[in-house]
């Protein structure tokens, strides 16, 4: 079953809204990373933060006030008219919400825990529910006053991609007529210090697949789709997932789990690897991820397929990454010039890895219906791959 992505709202360090994000994405003249202090002790890190003023939480929902929810609201406001039209058409009980996240309100919780350690009492505004993984989905459902299935997904860096797969499943099972789905994550000290402790963060802009790669830059983003069965220019044609469970934080070195997710996505979409016109790589710029993914891509595709990692433009947005990078594929399919996201790096390929066909600024899709793949891989061997179809 095709599930159509009828509307997209997006905010990340490249900008707010589809037009601003597309301009930064396709030109790659500037990136959204900037050096910030205070996120890990005694170190400056390049981070992809959203600098726009975030909207206030609507009256009556003050109990949902977190940066995560404010960023999610910013993305939702871009497509609010589409969301409310769907509610009016299908009814509140037939609209679902599935949001992928990994940080929710944990930054606010961290501050409150620190305050309790100092004063011995919880601050009056502390709410444990803010850090629950379903909090962003519940916030959207309360704001829109809808009553369909509503839940969060947290599978680390595949969360946003898994949310889209779950939304498609709700439509296929007939449980919903429309699903609001995507991902959101905001910067938090728990995540930045965690990756720093794993020695996975780079002190400079990340270089996916480069011989000089040194680790990730962390970012924040929200990407939100309205998914229905109604015909639209872009469809989520299929998706696949796997779990290789090789290690808690390292991927299986030969990429078998990642390749399995891609093969399952192709099978679900009913196409073969030759039909894929572009792959948005997970491409974190860590030593092990890039090595594993390059092997998985080489194993899956018999020919060089245009591909790129966009994390050098936005940072790794963790639980939002799968939705954000699916949004980049959506933007490419909707772009009047049919531009592809370029691979931003130093051009120094790692000779130990299989060679990949990285895109450059100005690369475009040919005319006709096109198929784009978006990969997301996560801690614990959690793998997901999406295939979007669009174009005329």
Closest CA to 111 of 98, 139, 97, 130: 130
Select which of 31, 196, 316, 371 is catalytic.
316
The answer for residues whose C-beta is within 8 angstroms of residue 272's C-beta and 6 or more apart is: 266
Catalytic residue among 157, 176, 181, 307: 157
State the catalytic residue, choosing from 31, 282, 343, 371: 282
CA angle 59, 64, 69 (to 5 degrees): 105
Active site annotation includes 63: no
Residue 316 annotated as catalytic:
yes
Q: Does the active-site annotation cover 12?
A: no
Active site residues: 157, 282, 316
């Amino acid at each position: 079953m095709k599930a159509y992505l009828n509307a997209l709202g997006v905010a990340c360090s490249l900008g707010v809204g589809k037009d601003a994000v597309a301009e930064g994405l396709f030109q790659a003249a500037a990136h959204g990373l900037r050096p910030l202090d205070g996120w890990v002790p005694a170190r400056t890190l390049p981070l992809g933060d959203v600098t726009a003023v975030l909207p206030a939480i609507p009256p009556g929902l003050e109990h949902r006030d977190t940066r995560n929810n404010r960023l999610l609201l910013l993305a939702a406001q871009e497509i609010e008219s589409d969301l409310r039209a769907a509610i009016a058409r299908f009814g509140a009980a037939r609209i679902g919400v599935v949001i992928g996240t990994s940080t929710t309100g944990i930054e606010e919780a961290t501050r409150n825990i620190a305050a309790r350690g100092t004063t011995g009492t919880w601050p009056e505004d502390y709410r444990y529910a803010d850090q629950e993984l379903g909090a962003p989905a519940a916030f959207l459902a309360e704001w829109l006053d809808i009553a369909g299935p509503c839940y969060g997904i947290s599978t680390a860096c595949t969360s946003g991609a898994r949310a889209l797969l779950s939304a498609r499943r709700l439509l296929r099972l007939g449980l919903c007529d429309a699903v609001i789905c995507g991902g959101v994550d905001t910067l938090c000290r728990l995540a930045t210090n965690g990756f720093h402790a794993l020695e996975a963060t780079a002190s400079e802009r990340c270089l996916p697949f480069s011989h000089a790669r040194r680790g990730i830059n962390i970012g924040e983003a929200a990407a939100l789709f309205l998914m229905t069965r109604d015909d639209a220019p872009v469809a989520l044609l299929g998706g696949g997932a796997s779990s290789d469970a090789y290690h808690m934080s390292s991927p299986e070195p030969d990429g078998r789990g990642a390749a399995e997710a891609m093969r399952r996505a192709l099978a679900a979409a009913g196409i073969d690897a030759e039909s894929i016109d572009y792959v948005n790589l997970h491409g974190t710029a860590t030593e092990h991820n890039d090595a594993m993914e390059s092997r998985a891509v080489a194993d899956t595709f018999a020919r060089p397929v245009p591909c790129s990692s966009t994390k050098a433009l936005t940072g790794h947005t963790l639980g939002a990454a799968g939705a954000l990078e699916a949004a980049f594929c959506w933007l490419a399919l909707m772009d009047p010039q049919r531009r592809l996201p370029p691979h931003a790096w130093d051009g120094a390929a790692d000779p130990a890895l299989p060679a990949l066909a990285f895109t450059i600024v100005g690369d475009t899709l040919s005319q006709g219906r096109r198929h784009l793949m978006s990969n997301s891989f996560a801690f614990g061997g959690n793998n997901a791959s999406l295939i979007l179809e669009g174009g005329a």
